[in-house]
Amino acid sequence: MKFGGLIIKNNKKVLLTIVFLWVGFLVLTAFSISLSTDPIITKEDFLAESLHPMSIFVHNLLSAFFLILLGNLTLGLYAIYALLLNIYITSYAIYFVYTETGMFSYAFAIILIHGILEIPAICLCFLLSSFTLRLSLNKIFGHHVFHMNSANEKVALVLLMIVLYFIASIVEAYMTPALSGTMYQIL
């Protein structure tokens, strides 16, 4: 089965809800920044630091597997909490970088350079960690509201999540610091 078909099959409602939440928080952050009257402190050294990609990858992967385990043990409650926390942290990071540099485009780009890959991986992690929640809701409603993954589909989703986290860690370790320096000089 192709990954694209597998992702679409995994209930568009769940994935669209995640996307709308994330985009909604980012729009609210941009709106909040436009209303901000706080003084802006420009710092020349406010650039992304380079970390070893393997340490980033291991951290993200251990966090993801912990979330999958804990999310399913708590019937998805921890999964929802972790998803909302990640959305909030993304928005706050953009806001913080903006208040420190005064450049919204720099703030948005510096966070989302590697976030383009990491955010879909987080969404897949949420999908895997909310299995018991979706199963419970299907039983409560008495019909098939949410798609339930087969074992093969779960393995494919986990592999895709691992690949996305791996590529995102390389981008975060090498490209984000390099591009942040270049972008800061241009802007």
- Cα–Cα distance measured from residue 28 to residue 182, given in angstroms and rounded to the nearest whole number: 27
Stated pTM of the model: 0.78
| pLDDT value of position 40 | 47
| pLDDT of the residue at 38 | 56
pLDDT of 100: 78
Cα separation, 185 vs 187, whole angstroms: 6
As a whole-number percent, the residues of the chain with pLDDT over 70 amount to: 82
The string of pLDDT tens digits covering residues 8-63 is 665 677 777 787 888 887 777 777 766 665 544 444 555 556 678 899 999 999 99
Average of pLDDT values for 125-152? 88
Q: Map out the domains of the chain as residue ranges.
A: 9-36+52-186
